[in-house]
A and B are shown apart, each in its own frame.
Chain A
Amino acid sequence: MSTPDNQSIYNLIRSYMSDMGTSRTTAVALKSYIDAVERLKCEASDFKPMLARLNTVIKNTEPRVIPLVHLVEAFEADMTAGSDLPLEAAKQRAMDLLNRIRVQFQDATARVTANCVTCIAPGDLIIAHLLPPYLREALVRARTERGHSFKVLVVKHDFVRTRELVDDLKAHHIDHLLIPEYNLSHYLKGPAKFFTGAVSVTPDNQAVTPVGTANMVGLCHWYRVPVYLFVESIKFAHKPLADQRIYSEAQVKTEADVTFHMATFSHDFIDLAMIDHIFTETGEIAGRAGAPGSPEQGG
C-alpha cells in the first residue's frame, strides 16, 4: 500500500530516525498518534477502519521501526476489546491505551540506560558513533552519579547528532575527542569499548543499525575492541532481515562535471557474531551469535 500520504509518513519517520534514533522516534510517533486521535472528528463507524489503516501504515514504514510495530500490535490487540463503545469513549480508550504503552516503552528504555551505566568503568575509552539519547544519558549518569572519569572518542557523523553528543559531553565535563571516521584505526590498538544501539535485531541474528555503524563494528571486531549493543527487547523483530524494508534509493548525481548513478541504503546491518555483549532492559542476554530470537530473550 503506497500512497503519497504513506510516503510522506515513511520519509518523516526515516528523517526522525536519522536525527533522533529509533527510541525517540517511537516515543514521538506514539505521542503524534495520541494527538491525532484527540483531534479526530468522524462518525463512530469510521473510527475503527481509520485506526486499522493507520496501524497498517505504521507497521510498514521503510525501514520497519520494530519497537513501534510491536507496540502498535499490542495496541491493536487491546483495542479489539470494547469495540462497541461510542466515538468519544472509543477515542478516550485508544488514547489511554497508547499512553500506557508509551509509558511502558519509556520504562524499558530507562532500564537499558541503567544497564549501560554499569558497563562504564573508570579509565575507559568509549567509542561512540551515533549514540541514541538513552545511551548519551548513560554516559552522563556514569559521570555525574557515579563520578567515573572516562574518555569518549566521538566518531564524527552527521551535524545534528554529533553536535548533540558533543554538547552533552561538554555540559557534563566528560573528557572527549572528536575524530573523523577514517582515522578510527589509530585509536583501536589500546583498550577501548564500542557502544551502539540498533533499530532492530532480527531472528536470523542481524542487527539493523544507523548508516556507518557496520564499518565501525567491522573495524572494532578486527582490532578485538569489544562491541556492546544496547537494545530494548521490544526491538527484537519477528521477521528476518530481508523483511525489514531497509529503504534504498538510486540517484543520478552530478559532481565536478561527472554524472553518475549512486545507490544508497537508509540503514546498515551487522551480523551478531561481531557483537560481544548484548544488553536489554533485563541485563546482558547474549554475546557472539547469541540467539535473540528465542522467546526467553524477548523475541
Chain B
Amino acid sequence: MGFDALMTVVVFLTVYVCIAFEWLDKAIAALLGVMALLIMGVIDDHTAATYIDFETIMLLIGMMGIVAVLKKTGFFAMTAVRIAKLTGGQPLRILILFCAATAIISAFLDNVTTVLIMVPIIIELTQGMGLDPRTYVVALAMASNLGGTATLVGDPPNIIIGSMVGLTFNQFLGYLLVPVVIATLVVIAYFRARNRASFLPIDDDLTKLFSVQLLLEKIEFDFRTVKIDRVFLIKSLACLGVAILLFVTQSVTGLSPGVAALTVALVLFIVTRTEIEEILLEIEWSTLLFFAGLFILVGAMEHKGVIAWLAHNIFLRVGSNPYVMTLMVLWVSGIVSGFMDNIPFTITMIPIVQTMLTAHPVPHHILWWALSLGACLGGNLTLIGASANIISAGMLKKYGYDISFGTYTRQSAPGAILSLFISSIVLMVYLWIFL
C-alpha cells in the first residue's frame, strides 16, 4: 500500500473510532474524514462526488418524505389503538400482535418511526396492567429489526445493498421473507418461554380484567382526541400503495426503487398540499450527510486498493467453499453489527463482498443475503446495535423504566443468536438447492 492508501486507512479508522465511541456526531465525523482526504489531496472533490450512491440517497429521501406525511394522518396511532383493542389486554396476545404488527410495518417503513409509534402504546398498556413493560419493549424493538430485514426498503443496510448492487424489491422479499418469518416466530416463542409468568392469562382475575377494560377504554378515548382527515389519509395510503407497487414491478417498469420512492413522495406532497418546509424539517439530513460521507470514504478506500487488499488478505483466506464464505459473511456481519453502526459496516463490506464474488462466484446472490441478514439481525445483539433499540430504551426511560446495556443484552442477545442460527440454516438450504 502506498502513502495515499495508508492515509485513507488512518482517516477511515479515526472516523470509525469517533463514531463507535460517540466522540463526534456521525455525520460530522464522516464529513470531517472526507475533508481531511480532500485537504491532503488524497482525492479531489470531483472524484469524491462520483463515489456517492445517489440511488440510495434518493430512496432514503423518498421514504422519509412518505413517512413524514403518513405520520401526520394519524394512521399509525389508529393502527396501534386497533391492535390494543384486539389484544383484549391478554399479555400473550399483546406480545404476539404488537410484535407481528411492528414487524410488518417495519418491513415497509423505517424502524425508528415504527417503534416511536408502537412503544408508547405498549408501555401504557402493560404499565396500566401492572406488568413490567421492559420485556415487551425489547421484544418490540427486536421485531422491528427483524421485520425491516425482509424488504429492500425496511432497513438502511438493505437499501444500501439493493441500490449499490442492483437487487430488486422482489428478490429481497423472495429470499429473506422465509428466514425473517421463522426468526420472528422463534424470537416470540423465546420471549414467552423466558418470561412465562409474565404472559399468563388474566381471565381468572376480576380486578385485573377491570383494570384492563378501563385501560382499553382510556387508550381509545385518548385516540379519539386525535383528529383524522379521511381524504388526507386515503391519499397518503394510496401513494404508499403505489410506491410498493412500483417496487414490486421494478423488473417490468425498469424504475429503480430510489426513482420510484422519490417520485411518489413528490406526488404525495402535491396531492396532499403539504408545505415543503414542513417536510424538509422531518427529513433526517444528518443521516443523509452521514451516508454521503461514508460513500466517499469507502469509495476512496476502494480506489486506493485498500478494499482489495482487505478482501484478499482476510476474507478470501477462508477459501472458495461457498458454505464457509456465506457463514463467515453472515456471522462476522452479525457480530460486528451488534456492537457498531451497521450502516458504515455495510458500506465497507459491499466492495469486499464484490471482490469475494469476483474471485469465487456464489449463485443467487447468497452472499448478499448473508450480508443483509447479518447486518440487520446482528443489530438485535445489544442495546447499541440498532437505532430502534436506543430509541426504545430512551422511551422506556421517559416512562420511568431504566434499562441498562447489560439487562437489554441479556434479554435480546439469545434471540439475536437464535435468529442468526435460523438464517444460517436457511442460507445453507438455499446453497444446497442452488449448487
Q: Does B213 lie within 8 Å of A8, measured CB to CB?
A: no
Chain A, 138-182, contact with B by CB distance < 8 Å: what is the 0/1 string? Answer: 000000000000000000000010011000000000000000000
Q: Which residue from A19, A51, A160 sits with its C-beta under 8 Å from B206?
A: A51
Chain A at the B interface: SS class: helix
Q: Does A54 lie within 8 Å of B221, measured CB to CB?
A: no
Chain B at the A interface: SS class: helix
Compute how far the CA of A160 lies from the CA of B222 in the bound complex, rounded to whole angstroms: 9
Compute how far the CA of A4 lies from the CA of B212 in the bound complex, rounded to whole angstroms: 13
Q: Does A41 lie within 8 Å of B204, measured CB to CB?
A: yes
- In this assembly, does A256 line the interface, its C-beta being within 8 Å of a C-beta of chain B? no
Q: Does B206 lie within 8 Å of A4, measured CB to CB?
A: no
Chain B, 205-216, contact with A by CB distance < 8 Å: what is the 0/1 string? Answer: 111111111110
Q: Which residues of A contact B212 (CB under 8 A)?
A: 36
Q: Does B214 lie within 8 Å of A28, measured CB to CB?
A: yes
- In this assembly, does B241 line the interface, its C-beta being within 8 Å of a C-beta of chain A? no
Q: Does A15 lie within 8 Å of B206, measured CB to CB?
A: no
- In this assembly, does A262 line the interface, its C-beta being within 8 Å of a C-beta of chain B? no
Q: Which residues of B contact A37 (CB under 8 A)?
A: 206
Q: Does A42 lie within 8 Å of B204, measured CB to CB?
A: yes
**Using a Cβ–Cβ cut-off of 8 Å, how many residues does chain A contribute to the interface with B?**
34
Q: Does B214 lie within 8 Å of A12, measured CB to CB?
A: yes
Q: Does A57 lie within 8 Å of B207, measured CB to CB?
A: yes
Stretch in B98-106, B123-131, B159-167 touching the partner: B123-131
- In this assembly, does B225 line the interface, its C-beta being within 8 Å of a C-beta of chain A? yes
Knowing A8-B129, A12-B128, A160-B225, the reply to whether A36 touches B215 (Cβ < 8 A) is no
- In this assembly, does B217 line the interface, its C-beta being within 8 Å of a C-beta of chain A? yes
Question: Interface residue tally of chain B, by bracket?
Answer: 20 to 34
Q: Which residues of B contact A57 (CB under 8 A)?
A: 207, 210
Knowing A32-B213, A163-B225, the reply to whether A12 touches B218 (Cβ < 8 A) is yes
Q: Which residues of B contact A32 (CB under 8 A)?
A: 210, 213-214, 217
Knowing A8-B128, A35-B213, the reply to whether A40 touches B218 (Cβ < 8 A) is no
How far apart are A106's CB and chain B's nearest CB, in angstroms? 16
Who on chain A is nearest to B209 by CB?
A36
Compute how far the CA of A6 lies from the CA of B127 in the bound complex, rounded to whole angstroms: 12
B203, B210, B213, B225 interface centre (most CB from chain A within 10 Å): B210
- In this assembly, does A75 line the interface, its C-beta being within 8 Å of a C-beta of chain B? no
Chain A, 1-20, contact with B by CB distance < 8 Å: what is the 0/1 string? Answer: 00011111101110110011
Q: Which residues of B contact A19 (CB under 8 A)?
A: 221-222
How far apart are B218's CB and chain A's nearest CB, in angstroms? 6
Q: Does B210 lie within 8 Å of A36, measured CB to CB?
A: yes
Q: Which residues of B contact A31 (CB under 8 A)?
A: 213, 217
Who on chain B is nearest to A42 by CB?
B204
Chain A, 37-68, contact with B by CB distance < 8 Å: what is the 0/1 string? Answer: 10111100010001101100100000000000
Q: Does A40 lie within 8 Å of B207, measured CB to CB?
A: no
Q: Does B210 lie within 8 Å of A33, measured CB to CB?
A: yes
- In this assembly, does A29 line the interface, its C-beta being within 8 Å of a C-beta of chain B? yes
Compute how far the CA of A9 lies from the CA of B218 in the bound complex, rounded to whole angstroms: 12
Q: Does B225 lie within 8 Å of A40, measured CB to CB?
A: no
Knowing A8-B128, A9-B211, the reply to whether A36 touches B218 (Cβ < 8 A) is no
Q: Does A16 lie within 8 Å of B129, measured CB to CB?
A: no
Knowing A8-B127, A8-B129, the reply to whether A39 touches B214 (Cβ < 8 A) is no
Q: Does A40 lie within 8 Å of B206, measured CB to CB?
A: yes
Compute how far the CA of A19 lies from the CA of B219 in the bound complex, rounded to whole angstroms: 12
How far apart are B215's CB and chain A's nearest CB, in angstroms? 6
- The 4 A-B residue pairs with the shortest CB-CB distance, nearest first, are A32-B213, A36-B209, A50-B206, A36-B210
19 extra A-B contacts, CB within 8 A, seeds A8-B130, A32-B213: A4-B130, A9-B214, A12-B128, A12-B214, A15-B218, A16-B218, A16-B221, A19-B222, A28-B217, A32-B214, A39-B209, A40-B209, A41-B203, A50-B206, A53-B206, A53-B207, A54-B207, A57-B207, A160-B225
What are 16 A-B interface contacts by the 8 Å CB criterion?
Answer: A5-B211, A8-B127, A9-B211, A11-B128, A12-B211, A12-B214, A12-B215, A12-B218, A15-B218, A16-B218, A19-B221, A31-B213, A31-B217, A53-B206, A54-B206, A160-B225
